[in-house]
């Protein structure tokens, strides 16, 4: 500092700070050799606090207003310096102005996903982000715990630590609430309040107060979201047969509006119609018989179709007239096994009422 600057500083009797920045938390008033004249005027503007520090010890703290610096309103500093009878010469002290306004729209977010156990999906990885508002609640503690001897302290110098505090408590908060993943979005306000409550004591240890915290989003991994989108789409589509018909109708409408389209578009549309047709037939087809049961003969009356079991092999299908012919020929007897559609198991021919007359009028085969 030049001789002129030194002389000018000694003549100054007003100590004040006009903040022209948007992120300054603490600013130290510059004074040559930290000398302050007795009777100087201290001006502390709204949302400010002035903290006097003597040889590393926090002394007096002034709220907003205009103060004349005498031994009467500097009781702690007067005690530290041992002034018993007052003073009229310059004294040495560091003056820190602390910005106590709310700092808004501060961002926080997870760098790495938080792993939780969900009742429906099991272990899931969640990411989250949001904003918060913070202010200096205890200027003296803030200077002692965070600022130290720095002459200019900004929000950038501490924002990373505050973000880490929020993220570290996010997993605990989500685990304690027990809300299913799919219901988290409906409870952002409750989760925000709970998270702010959980981290408030740690902020107070630094002399800070978190006045507002918002959770803006909690998201699942991309692949899980894509699977959920597919599931939602299927739920919206509902009846797949109707959906296919609807898509085909849209294609026909588009073709009618563009009759001069190229051949490839027509071919593609034709293939789409064919696939839709085939899918419709498949969905409309009756269910097949259980494995092991003989299939019904297409175009026949299934109640009159029979199968004959002999020596572990089955023969058929035969209609009722053919079975009667086999009975008359002696190849089917009352002990022969028969099956027709709707039966749970094979049974002997004499248990079929429709064949009793034929069995009784047909003589059994001659013994060999």
In a domain? residue 233: no
13: closest CA among 32, 41, 34? 41
pLDDT value of residue 324: 87
Question: Tokens 């064949």 appear where?
Answer: 355
Q: Are residues 113 and 211 in the same domain?
A: yes
In a domain? residue 203: yes
Query: Has this prediction a pTM greater than 0.85?
Result: no
pLDDT value of residue 135: 95
Q: Are residues 145 and 44 in the same domain?
A: no
In a domain? residue 290: no
Q: Are residues 47 and 157 in the same domain?
A: no
Domain boundary among 177, 195, 223: 223
Domain boundary among 189, 223, 257: 223
Q: Are residues 109 and 95 in the same domain?
A: no
In a domain? residue 292: no
Domain boundary among 51, 70, 99: 99
Q: Are residues 80 and 17 in the same domain?
A: yes
The dihedral sign for the CA sequence 340, 343, 345, 348: negative
Q: Are residues 278 and 307 in the same domain?
A: no
- The rounded distance, in Å, linking the Cα atoms of 306 and 323 is 8
- Split into its structural domains, the chain has a count of 4
Alpha helix segments (H runs only) across 205-294 = 222-237, 240-257, 263-284
What residues have CB less than 8 Å from 64, skipping those under 6 apart?
44, 45, 46, 47, 48, 49
pLDDT value of residue 129: 93
pLDDT value of residue 132: 96
pLDDT value of residue 104: 92
In a domain? residue 167: yes
Enter the tokens of residue 122: 């099991």
Q: Are residues 117 and 210 in the same domain?
A: yes
Residue 52 is part of which domain span? 3-99
Q: How far is CA 196 from CA 122, 167, 263, in A?
A: 27, 11, 64
In a domain? residue 12: yes
Low-confidence ranges of the chain (pLDDT < 70): 1-12, 32-34, 80-89, 228-229, 231-244, 246, 259-304, 362-368
In a domain? residue 296: no
56: closest CA among 30, 80, 87, 20? 80
pLDDT value of residue 45: 93
In a domain? residue 216: yes
pLDDT value of residue 288: 45
Q: Are residues 204 and 262 in the same domain?
A: no
- The rounded distance, in Å, linking the Cα atoms of 345 and 225 is 50
Q: How far is CA 159 from CA 48, 109, 148, 153, in A?
A: 20, 12, 17, 11
- The rounded distance, in Å, linking the Cα atoms of 253 and 273 is 13
pLDDT per residue over 167-176, tens digit each? 989 988 888 8
Q: Are residues 116 and 215 in the same domain?
A: yes
Specify whether the CB–CB gap between 218 and 195 falls below 8 A.
no
Whichever domain contains 137, its CATH number is: 3.30.479.30
Q: Are residues 85 and 112 in the same domain?
A: no
Q: Are residues 75 and 130 in the same domain?
A: no
Q: Are residues 110 and 198 in the same domain?
A: yes
110: closest CA among 131, 132, 128, 130? 128
């Amino acid at each position: 500092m030049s001789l002129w600057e030194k002389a000018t500083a000694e003549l100054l009797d007003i100590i004040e700070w006009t903040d022209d920045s948007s992120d300054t938390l603490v600013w130290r008033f510059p004074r040559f050799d930290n000398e302050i004249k007795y009777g100087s005027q201290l001006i502390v503007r709204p949302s400010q606090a002035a903290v006097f520090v003597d040889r590393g010890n926090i002394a007096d703290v002034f709220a907003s207003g205009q103060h004349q610096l005498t031994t009467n309103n500097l009781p702690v500093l007067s005690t530290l310096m041992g002034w018993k009878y007052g003073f009229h010469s310059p004294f040495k002290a560091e003056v820190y102005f602390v910005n106590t306004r709310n700092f808004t729209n501060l961002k926080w977010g997870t760098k790495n996903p938080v792993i939780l156990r969900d009742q429906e999906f099991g272990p899931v990885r969640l990411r989250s982000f949001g904003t918060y508002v913070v202010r200096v609640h205890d200027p003296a503690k803030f200077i002692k715990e965070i600022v130290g001897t720095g002459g200019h302290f900004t929000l950038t110098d501490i924002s990373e630590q505050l973000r880490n505090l929020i993220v570290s408590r996010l997993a605990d908060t989500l685990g304690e609430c027990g809300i299913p993943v799919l219901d988290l979005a409906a409870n952002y306000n409750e989760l925000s309040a709970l998270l702010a409550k959980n981290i408030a004591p740690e902020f107070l240890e630094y002399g800070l107060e978190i006045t507002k915290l918002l959770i803006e989003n909690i998201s699942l991994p991309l692949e899980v979201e894509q699977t959920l989108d597919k599931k939602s789409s299927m739920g919206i589509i509902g009846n797949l047969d109707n959906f296919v018909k609807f898509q085909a109708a849209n294609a026909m409408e588009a073709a009618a509006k563009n009759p001069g389209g190229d051949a490839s578009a027509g071919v593609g549309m034709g293939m789409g119609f064919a696939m839709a047709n085939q899918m419709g037939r498949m969905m409309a087809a009756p269910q097949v018989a259980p494995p092991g049961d003989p299939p019904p003969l297409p175009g026949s009356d299934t109640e009159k179709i029979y199968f004959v079991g002999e020596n572990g092999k089955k023969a058929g299908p035969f209609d009722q007239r053919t079975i009667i012919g086999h009975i008359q020929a002696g190849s089917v007897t009352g002990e022969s096994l028969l099956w027709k559609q709707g039966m749970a198991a094979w049974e002997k021919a004499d248990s079929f009422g429709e064949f009793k007359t034929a069995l009784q009028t047909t003589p059994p085969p001659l013994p060999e």
